[in-house]
Amino acid sequence: MKKIGMIGCLAFVLTLQAGAQTKPAVAPKKEVYQAVATKTNDLVHTALDASFDFSNATLSGVKFENCDLSKSIFDATNLEKTDFSTAIHFSIHPENNKLSKTKFSNENLSGLLNKYDLDII
């Protein structure tokens, strides 16, 4: 009986030692979202052959600096306080768009009159 008790005790001690030698399970690290600052890029002096449909858009306060807007569509667009002073080749119908405080240059005002098929000299 003593032999069985000693063997059982020895097995128990060995089990404890084996358990002490194993490393505890480590939970995998979770990736934490880290926000970065929003980057804004100005498309200045850029020659893009692109067309944009700004129908029903709000472009309030936008500056179209040296932009060729020949293929762009403005219909029911909010263009309040928008700057077209250096933009070229646009066609905007004042009746269909909001133009309060919108800036134009003397050279590009004809873009507002294309609808009327006028000869501006």
pLDDT tens by residue, 58-96? 999 999 998 889 999 999 999 999 999 999 999 999 999
Question: Phi then psi for 63, rounded to 5 degrees?
Answer: -115, 115
> What is the three-state SS of 31-98?
CCCCCCCCCCCCCCCCCCCCCCECCCCECCCCECCCCECCCCECCCCECCCCECCCCECCCCCHHHCE
Rounded mean pLDDT of the chain?
Answer: 80
Q: Residue 16: pLDDT above 60?
A: no
Q: Does residue 103 sit in helix, strand or coil? A: strand
**Cα separation, 106 vs 91, whole angstroms:** 15
Q: Name the least confident of 78-82, 110-114, 115-119.
A: 115-119
Q: CA 117 → CA 16, 78, 107, 113, 120, distances in Å?
A: 96, 24, 17, 7, 9
**Cα separation, 86 vs 68, whole angstroms:** 9
Domain ranges of the chain: 43-115
More confident residue, 19 or 74: 74
Domain 43-115 -> CATH class: mainly beta
What share of the chain has pLDDT > 70, as a percent?
A: 72
Would you state the pLDDT for residue 39?
Answer: 73
Would you state the pLDDT for residue 51?
Answer: 86
14-18, 23-27, 117-121: which is most confident? 117-121
**Cα separation, 85 vs 107, whole angstroms:** 9
